[in-house]
Amino acid sequence: MVKLYCDEKARLWGIDAMRDWKTRDEPTNANLRLLESMSRAWPNMNADQATQRLTTIISIDDMLPKAVRAHFRLPSLYIGNAHYSWSQARLDEWWSELSSAIVVGLDAVEADKDLQKGGAATLDDRPPTRGEELNDACRAYSQHANSTTLDDLRLACSAPGLGQYFERLTYWLGRKRPAPGRRPIASELWIALSNIEARADYYHHHRASYRYDDKRRAEAASSADEHHPSPIIEALHTVSRGGLVLGQRVRHGKFGQGTITHIEGDRIEAEFDGLGAKRILETFLTAETLPEAHPSQQ
């Protein structure tokens, strides 16, 4: 979602499209896309705009794994309110220095093979993100709609900008019947939940709630003690509801051919040729080839 938004903005501004980030950690990829968009030129930026961008950059920096952050040599990000007294020339000079340092760091990250598939770098030392919390909360609520999962979703949606989407969900939960000519309430609920989940990628530069952080720590400790995957890992499926499996080649009417990389019920994530990863409902995909036998099917 963030990449599509940034690519469209780049096209309108007449600049190059965003890079295709391929570290082994998707939240980190989302944050690198956002950081790249933050580094773009902004002619005649004012102090308020600089504050907004600087706040986002600081948040991203806090959420990057050490192996990624080590590639960045940024000037001091904690300038307080000093820039409100700067001339336009001084503000432009400061932003040029910062954005150039970001680009150098991004180049180094892109060139580091240890961060990519098969690499040796550790990427799990970052804090849990609000985006992960949103994805897990939406998944849990869609599978088991009850007061507990709804409360977890409410907490996940406490990040700035998400309140209106959660209110839309609760509005339809409180309705007894749809308005004349409207979609069924079940469809409205699915749309409201999808609108929340669609925004998860943007919130990877926000920290998860303390409750979610504690839950992840407890699951990690349990996994280490009992030598089995955490509940989050165990929830991943290898076969879809319609029979698609991991590694299978599929076709989408808009994105063309791709390979299935992740399955959750009827929601499929596939790596499309030349376009990268997309998350799509199974009904929009057509099987192209049979995959090799998966270990879980042997």
Regarding whether 102 and 33 lie in a shared domain, the answer is: yes
| CA pair distance 298, 247, nearest whole angstrom | 15
Regarding whether 70 and 175 lie in a shared domain, the answer is: no
* Whether the predicted pLDDT of 11 surpasses 60: no
Which residue range forms the structural domain that includes residue 33?
2-115
Q: Which pairs with CB-CB distance under 8 Å and at least 24 residues apart come from 115-119? A: 115/23, 115/24, 115/67, 115/68, 116/22, 116/23, 116/24, 117/22, 117/24, 119/24
Query: Can you give the pLDDT at residue 228?
Result: 55
For residue 240, what pLDDT band results from cuts at 50, 70 and 90? confident
Interhelix angle for 26-38 vs 47-63, to 10°? Answer: 160
37-83 residue pLDDT tens: 988 888 889 999 999 999 999 999 999 999 999 999 998 888 888 89
Which candidate, 26, 5, 130, 9, places its Cα nearest to that of 68?
26
Regarding whether 83 and 38 lie in a shared domain, the answer is: yes
Query: Can you give the pLDDT at residue 18?
Result: 77
Residue 79 lies in a domain: yes
Pick the last residue of a domain from 86, 115, 144. 115
For residue 277, what pLDDT band results from cuts at 50, 70 and 90? confident
Residue 192 lies in a domain: yes
Q: What percent of the chain has pLDDT over 70?
A: 86
The structural domain count of the chain equals 3
* Whether the predicted pLDDT of 153 surpasses 90: yes
* Whether the predicted pLDDT of 253 surpasses 90: no
Regarding whether 110 and 51 lie in a shared domain, the answer is: yes
Regarding whether 111 and 10 lie in a shared domain, the answer is: yes
Residue 124 lies in a domain: no
* Whether the predicted pLDDT of 292 surpasses 70: no
Segment among 21-25, 129-133, 276-280 with least mean pLDDT: 276-280
200-238 residue pLDDT tens: 999 999 999 999 999 888 887 776 666 555 444 444 456
Regarding whether 265 and 209 lie in a shared domain, the answer is: no
Question: Phi first, then psi: what are they for 119, rounded to 5°?
Answer: -80, 170
Regarding whether 187 and 135 lie in a shared domain, the answer is: yes
95-129 residue pLDDT tens: 999 999 999 999 999 999 999 988 999 999 999 99
* Whether the predicted pLDDT of 4 surpasses 50: no
| CA pair distance 79, 75, nearest whole angstrom | 10
Query: Can you give the pLDDT at residue 298?
Result: 45
Regarding whether 52 and 109 lie in a shared domain, the answer is: yes
Q: Report the pLDDT averaged over residues 12-23.
A: 67
Residue 260 lies in a domain: yes
Regarding whether 165 and 71 lie in a shared domain, the answer is: no
For residue 289, what pLDDT band results from cuts at 50, 70 and 90? low
For residue 193, what pLDDT band results from cuts at 50, 70 and 90? very high
| CA pair distance 63, 28, nearest whole angstrom | 8
Task: Give residue 73's identity as a one-letter amino acid code.
Answer: R
Residue 235 lies in a domain: no
Cβ atoms of 250 and 270 within 8 Å: the answer is yes
Regarding whether 103 and 143 lie in a shared domain, the answer is: no
Residue 237 lies in a domain: no
Regarding whether 17 and 89 lie in a shared domain, the answer is: yes
Pick the last residue of a domain from 87, 115, 143. 115
Query: Can you give the pLDDT at residue 156?
Result: 95
Residue 150 lies in a domain: yes
Q: Report the pLDDT averaged over residues 259-271.
A: 84
Which candidate, 58, 15, 6, places its Cα nearest to that of 37?
6
> 155 or 177, which is more confident?
155
Regarding whether 287 and 215 lie in a shared domain, the answer is: no
Residue 84 lies in a domain: yes
